[in-house]
Amino acid sequence: MSEIITGILALIVGTGIGYAIRMVLSKYAADSSEKQASQMVSDAKREAATVLKESKIQAKSDIIKAREKFEESVSSRRKELAKVEERIQSREQMLDRKVAMIDKKEDVLAKKLTDCETKSSELTKLREEVDKLIIRQQNRLQELASMSREDARKQILDTVEKEMQGEIGALIRRMQERARSTAESEANNIIAQAIQRFASSHSSEMMASSVALPSDDIKGRIIGREGRNIRALEAATGVNILIDDTPEAVVISGFDPVRREIAKLALESLIVDGRIHPARIEEVVESVQESMEETIRKVGEEAVYAAGIQDVAPELIRKLGRLKYRTSYTQNVLNHSLEVSQLMGIMAGELELDISIAKRVGLFHDIGKALDHEVEGGHAIIGADLLKRHGEDMVVVNAVAAHHEEVQAESLYAYLCSAADAISSSRVGARSETTDIYVKRLEKLESIANSFEGVHKSYAIQAGREVRLLVDPQNVDDNSAMVLARDVSKKIESELKYPGQIKIVVIRETRSIEYAK
C-alpha cells in the first residue's frame, strides 16, 4: 500500500516538474519570437525609408526628363509656327501684289469700255447715215431705170438662174462621179486590207468516201453469209456500201455526209475489232452515233469560240458542227464560214459597224447547208428561218437571207457578207477548180452573153459570179433589157455548171456627145 502511495506521489511530483519545465520553455520561446518580430519591423522600416528615398529620386529624374521633352516640343512647335507665319506673310504679300494688278486691269478695262461705247455710238450714227444714203441711191436708181426694186431683183435672179443652170448640172455630175470613184476606191481599199489582214489556208478538204482494208480477205467478212452483214450495216447507217474490184478498199456512198462519216467510222471500228455480225454491227453503229453527236457539238463549240461570238443556241451549235462534214466544191463549209466571219469582222471595223454582228452573220451565213438536203429551198432562206426560230437578231436573219440577193437587204451586213463570201470562195486555190476550167468557164459566160442580139459587149467579173452586158440603147429598150437578163440567165443555167449564183446585169445607157470648137 505504501508502495502505491509512493508511486502516486512520484507521479504527481514528475508531472509538476514537467509542467514547470514546459512553462519555462514557453516563456523563453515567446521572448525569442517577440525579439524576432521587433527586428523584422525595424528592418521593414529601414527598407521602406530606402524605397521612399529612391522613389523620390526617380520621380525627380522623371520630372526633369518630362520637362526637357516638353521644352523640346515647345521649341519645335515654335519653329513650325514661325515658318507658317513666314509663308502666310509671303502669301499676303503676293495677294497684295495681285490685288494691285487687278485694280490696274480694272482701270484699263473701264477705259476700254468707255472707248467702245463711244465708238459704238459713232458707228450707230454712221450706219444710220449709210442707210439714208442707200435709200437715196435706190430711189435715184429707180427713177433713172424706171423699175422698182422688186422688179430689178427678179430680173437679176432670172438672168443668174439661167446662166447657172448649166454650171449646176455640170457640178452635180462632177460631184456624183467623184463620190462614185471615191466610194469604189474606199471599198477596194477596205477589201484589200481585209484580205491582207486575214491570211487563211486555201487547202481543200475532200470528204473520204472509201475505207482502206488490211487485205481483200476482209471483204467477204464484211459481206457476210448471203450478204447479211452488209445489209445490216446499210440498214443501220442509211448509206450504200459498194464492194467492187478495187483492191483493199470499200466505197461508201450517201447523200448525208454525217451518215457517211458514221458508216466510215463504224466500219473501221468493226475491221479493227474483227467481230463482224449483225448484232455487233448495230452495237458499234449506235456507239459511233453517240460519239458522233458529241463530236459534232464540240466542233460547233470550237467554231463559235474561234469566231469570238457568244449566246448561241445549242441547236445552232450542233448545226455548225454538222458543217464540218459538208463541202461545197471540195471547200469545207465550216472553214469557209469561219473565214467569212473573220473577213466580215475586219471590214466592219473599217466601216465602223458592229464587229460582233458582222462576225455572227459570217459564221451563220451558210448554216442552211446543214439542212438543205432535208428542207426544200435555197440554203440562205433555210438558214435565215433556222436563225429566226432560235431567237437570233433580225439584222442577222436578214443579212443571212439576203447574202445571195434572194430577199431585199435591210442593212450593210448583207452586202459585207456577199463580198466576204465571194472573197473566200473565189480566190485561187480555195476550191478545186483548175485554172484552165476557171478560164474556160469565164470565156463560156461571155460567149453566151454575146450570142444574144443587141449585146454590144459583155464582161465576166467577180470571179465569174457576175456578168455585165452592155447593150445598144437603140435596139434594146428598158423592157427588153429585163427580158434579155432573164433569157441570158436561163441559158447559163442550162449550159453551165457553177458554184453559187451568177448575177446578170444589163446596162443600157444613152450618151450625148458634143465638141466645143
User: What's residue 278's pLDDT?
Assistant: 83
Count CB neighbours of 390 within 10 A.
Answer: 14
- Cell output for 174: 462632177
The whole-number pLDDT of residue 233 equals 83
**Taking 80 as the threshold, does the pLDDT of residue 67 lie above it?**
yes
Look up residue 141 and give its three cell numbers.
436708181
Looking at residue 443, what is its pLDDT? 74
* Cell 520630372 -> residue: 63
Instruction: Lowest mean pLDDT of 79-88, 223-232, 454-463, name the range.
Output: 454-463
Task: Give the pLDDT score at 247.
Answer: 76
The whole-angstrom separation of Cα 501 and Cα 499 is 7
Q: What is the pLDDT of residue 217?
A: 78
pTM greater than the 0.85 cutoff: no
Would the pLDDT of 503 be above 80? yes
Task: Name the residue with higher pLDDT: 283 or 154.
Answer: 283
For the segment 490-497, the average pLDDT, to the nearest whole number, is: 85
pLDDT of residue 203: 42
CA nearest neighbour of 211 among 258, 256, 269, 259: 269
Q: How far is CA 308 from CA 30, 294, 295, 301, 358, in A?
A: 107, 21, 20, 11, 11
CA–CA separation, 447 and 456 (whole Å):
12
Q: How confident is the model at residue 207 (pLDDT cuts 50, 70, 90)?
A: very low
pLDDT at position 517: 64
Q: Give the mean pLDDT of 23-46.
A: 74
Which of 49-63, 88-102, 419-433, 468-482 is the most confident on average? 88-102
Q: What was the pLDDT predicted at 174?
A: 67
pLDDT of res. 485: 86
State the average pLDDT over residues 443-458. 83
Residue 253 has pLDDT above 80, yes or no: no
Q: How far apart (Å, rounded) are the C-alpha atoms in residues 362 and 339?
A: 8
Average pLDDT, the chain: 78
Q: Which amino acid is at 139?
A: N
> Does residue 77 carry a pLDDT above 70?
yes
DSSP-derived 3-state class of residue 331: strand
Q: Are 393 and 312 in contact (CB under 8 A)?
A: no
Return the biggest CA–CA distance within the chain. Answer: 198
* Residue that wins the pLDDT comparison between 190 and 63: 63
